[in-house]
Chain A
């Protein structure tokens, strides 16, 4: 899709009233975004198994389709037709609600993510705050799922998850404050545009400390390895979703990968320039201007996702007290130092 299509969507109305047309455009946008993201969620699992397989000198999935390309579809069909087991002493309404809540929180963050210039479902002024709010809600699925299944393993998993997520939300928020100060706005489109005006083209150059803190706390916030203590399979079987099976298990799985894609898109939009490429690169290689923005966005997104898998294949899991010590004693002070430095720099630049 190019901006021409967007302009067409705004202008050609076929005699439909303006209000109705606006609502229709929003619904079409939601359908496109949801469809695209769910496809990427499905193939993120395939990508993960391939990447980790290669890193461990294996082939990864190879049976279903050429190079195992149909594996995610087979997995989906399998989990859809599996028996849905409910533990006898489970708190039933909560047990049903928990995976849906987790997935809902992850998918509603997509409303404010701009995929390329102008294509965003809701261009609101507090976009970054909305993303924080939704990412802090994702933990409810984990906590409620673990609590309601009435099992020791799930319970321990959700206890770990709640403490971990409260602790790592603080550095996650603080690490983005530097970006907010530099861009002077909370609107995500505005942040990306401010980056293309910035000489370096990407805020990662000035905000490398913030980016470092953000990456570590994003991994902890999405419960991925090496901070996957809530679902540590060697200690807690599968942690909070031990008792889940069939489609509900698949919903938890999708929520995890959707959350990962959201975190990667925040990293891309706030630190890596979103759909733009740095101006000096464009000056050196002018022919790159014909590549549409969404291609850059997806490429940067997959680099970030690859980074997640790389860390998972490389690092061993941290101990729980180490996890807490890193969060409170290293990341939060670093993020605060970053805020102070950024604020002083901004003051100096403006004073000139």
Chain B
């Protein structure tokens, strides 16, 4: 019972905050609603026994990516852009399209059948702590994707510097 109350609270806030974030005129306010959204998603992860992911969510999303957004917003002078029209003229089409995708997703999830359960049950994770469990999986089974992810980040670093650097004359 209390589980369901918390789930409904978290999901209501998550949906409301994501709606607020995409409809604000002032980008700064949008980013702050995103911040609240990330906190509630992190709370939801705690329910799913994913404490490590929930900490990473707060550190990376709230602590780094959103600060980067705020930094860029402050760097740009957006006073004129805020006064313009915020939505494209054919926004009902967008609404119809996303509602269509939503219907497909919701209906397809009704018939979801889960496969057989894996090795890492709750008892198994608790016996070695979750950090160890994730670390073991990440560095053995998923080592190659991990290296690829680090390559993606390296490319992003170089790309961001090359793009945003002023031309030297």
Contact = CB atoms under 8 A, between A and B. Distances in A.
A147 B74 contact: yes
Contact of A143 (B63, B70, B130, B131): B70
A324 interface: no
Closest 8 CB pairs of A and B: A136-B63, A129-B55, A133-B58, A162-B71, A133-B59, A126-B55, A125-B129, A159-B74
B74 A125 contact: no
Contacts of A147: 28, 70, 74
Interface stretch (A163-171, A191-199, A297-305): A163-171
Contacts of B58: 133, 136-137
B61 to A, nearest CB: 10
B62 A137 contact: yes
5 contacts: A140-B67, A155-B74, A159-B74, A165-B67, A186-B131
Given A129-B56, A169-B64, A186-B131, 13 more contacts: A94-B32, A125-B129, A126-B55, A132-B55, A132-B63, A133-B58, A133-B62, A137-B58, A139-B67, A140-B35, A158-B74, A162-B71, A162-B74
Contacts of B131: 125-126, 185-186
A185 B130 CA distance: 11
B59 A166 contact: no
B55 to A, nearest CB: 4
A126 B74 contact: no
A143 B66 CA distance: 11
B82 to A, nearest CB: 12
Interface of B: 28, 32, 35, 51-52, 55-56, 58-59, 62-64, 67-68, 70-71, 74-75, 129-131
A126 B74 CA distance: 33
Given A140-B35, A147-B74, A159-B71, A126 B52 contact: yes
Chain A's interface: helix, strand, loop or mixed, by majority? Answer: helix
B75 A129 contact: no
A169 B65 CA distance: 12
Label chain B's interface by main secondary structure. helix
Contacts of A166: 64, 67-68, 71
A143 B67 contact: yes
B76 to A, nearest CB: 11
Contacts of A136: 58-59, 62-64, 67
A124 interface: yes
Contact of B70 (A91, A137, A162): A162
Nearest to B35: A140
A139 B67 CA distance: 8
A129 B63 contact: no
B41 to A, nearest CB: 13
Contact of A137 (B63, B68, B71): B63
A258 B26 CA distance: 32
Highest count of chain B CB atoms <10 Å: which of A143, A158, A163: A143
A94 B31 CA distance: 12
Interface string A57-99: 0000000000000000000000000000000000100100000
Contacts of B68: 166
A309 interface: no
Contacts of A253: none
A130 B63 contact: no
Nearest to A166: B67
A133 B58 CA distance: 6
Contacts of B64: 136, 166, 169
A129 B74 CA distance: 28
B127 to A, nearest CB: 12
Interface string A131-155: 0110011011001100100000001
Contacts of B32: 94, 144
Nearest to A148: B28
A136 B28 CA distance: 18
A317 B169 CA distance: 31
A132 B64 CA distance: 11
Nearest to A135: B63
Residue with the highest number of chain A CB atoms closer than 10 Å, among B28, B58, B63, B130: B63
